[in-house]
């Protein structure tokens, strides 16, 4: 059986197992749990199977699927409200990528370059300071958005997603009681992936040395696919070998950061996560003999 992954969405959870994807939400008007299937769209299927190359294409597929899941969850949760169209979703994706690159790649680089002793010094030390600034920015961003009520609910659904996945991986019956016993922190989480990206970037960006600012900026942009590829393989390996002591040490920063991106969910949130998970893991009527 393929591994299960997911994402918290608006008032619900998206789950994926292989080519099966489902979004489950709790409708605001009557509190009913609604589940809808999604078709995965892998535009670069062959390239998405090549180690160290697939990370970039899998990341694109994940972002695209995530936005579609958010769109579906908004329509199911609040059907009476006006929704963002396809063009709006595309602009949202582009804006999100530009903000991420500008805020977490370019700005930390510029700030580190303003420090006279680092500007022309050891490239490893420069990248360590740049990486530290990036971690501080990421931490401050998570702390800031976690103060918003709507985001706190999303973080609760994020925790429900992890609990349900843990119960499934343990071979337990998918019930609220069984899921409730598990942690909200999971080594394959996207938050862990971002922390891996930050640390891998320190090593990869050091390859470019310590040239002038515009060359540093260009090198960061050109090496982003390399960082994504290595980070994705690292996440896959750590998720499959989380029982090894040295892997547990390496994934600990990502688990610590998840304390900001997950919250203990309510029982009705876990019910929604289980509904989504059951849709992608249990045989469909067509598959039942």
Higher-confidence residue of 223 and 117: namely: 223
Confidence of residue 258 (pLDDT cuts 50, 70, 90): very high
Q: How far is CA 253 from the centre of its chain?
A: 15
Q: pLDDT for 216-252, tens place per residue?
A: 999 998 998 999 999 999 988 888 888 888 888 888 8
Nearest to 175 by CA among 109, 267, 87, 252: 267
Cβ 16 vs Cβ 158: under 8 Å: no
User: What pLDDT is recorded for position 62?
Assistant: 84
Confidence of residue 89 (pLDDT cuts 50, 70, 90): low
Least confident of 24-28, 98-102, 185-189, 259-263: 98-102
What is the C-alpha separation between 122 and 132, in angstroms, rounded?
Answer: 16
Higher-confidence residue of 276 and 60: namely: 276
Q: What is the mean pLDDT of the chain?
A: 87
Cβ 253 vs Cβ 234: under 8 Å: no
CA–CA distances in Å: residue 191 to residues 109, 212, 233, 253: 22, 32, 15, 10
Q: Which residues of 194-207 are buried (b: 16+ CB within 10 A; e: fewer)?
A: bbbbbbbbbebbbe
Confidence of residue 87 (pLDDT cuts 50, 70, 90): low
Confidence of residue 289 (pLDDT cuts 50, 70, 90): very low
Nearest to 265 by CA among 168, 185, 184: 184
* Strand ranges across the sheet with 12-17: 4-9, 12-17, 20-26, 33-38
- Note if the pTM is more than 0.75: yes
Q: State yes or no: pLDDT of 255 exceeds 70.
A: yes
């Amino acid at each position: 059986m393929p591994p299960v992954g997911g994402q918290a969405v608006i008032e619900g959870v998206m789950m994926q197992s292989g080519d099966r994807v489902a979004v489950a939400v709790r409708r605001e008007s009557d509190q009913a749990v609604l589940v809808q299937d999604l078709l995965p769209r892998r535009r670069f299927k062959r390239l998405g199977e090549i180690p160290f190359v697939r990370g970039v294409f899998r990341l694109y597929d994940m972002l695209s699927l995530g936005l579609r899941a958010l769109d579906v969850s908004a329509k199911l949760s609040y059907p009476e409200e006006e929704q963002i169209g396809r063009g709006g979703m595309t602009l949202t994706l582009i804006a999100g990528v530009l903000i991420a690159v500008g805020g977490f790649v370019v700005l930390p680089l510029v700030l580190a370059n303003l420090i006279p002793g680092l500007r022309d010094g050891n490239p490893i030390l420069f990248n360590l300071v740049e990486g530290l600034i990036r971690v501080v920015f990421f931490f401050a961003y998570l702390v800031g958005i976690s103060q918003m009520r709507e985001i706190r609910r999303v973080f609760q659904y994020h925790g429900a997603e992890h609990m349900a996945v843990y119960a499934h991986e343990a071979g337990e019956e998918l019930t609220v009681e069984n899921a409730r016993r598990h942690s909200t922190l999971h080594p394959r989480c996207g938050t862990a992936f971002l922390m891996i990206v930050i640390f891998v970037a320190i090593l990869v960006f050091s390859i470019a040395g310590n040239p002038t600012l515009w060359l540093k900026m260009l090198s960061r942009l050109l090496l982003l696919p390399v960082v994504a590829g290595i980070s994705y393989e690292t996440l896959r390996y750590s998720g499959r070998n989380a029982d090894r002591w040295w892997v547990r040490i390496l994934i600990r920063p990502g688990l610590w950061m998840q304390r900001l991106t997950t919250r203990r969910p309510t029982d009705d949130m876990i019910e929604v996560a289980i509904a989504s998970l059951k849709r992608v893991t249990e045989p469909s009527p067509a598959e039942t003999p």
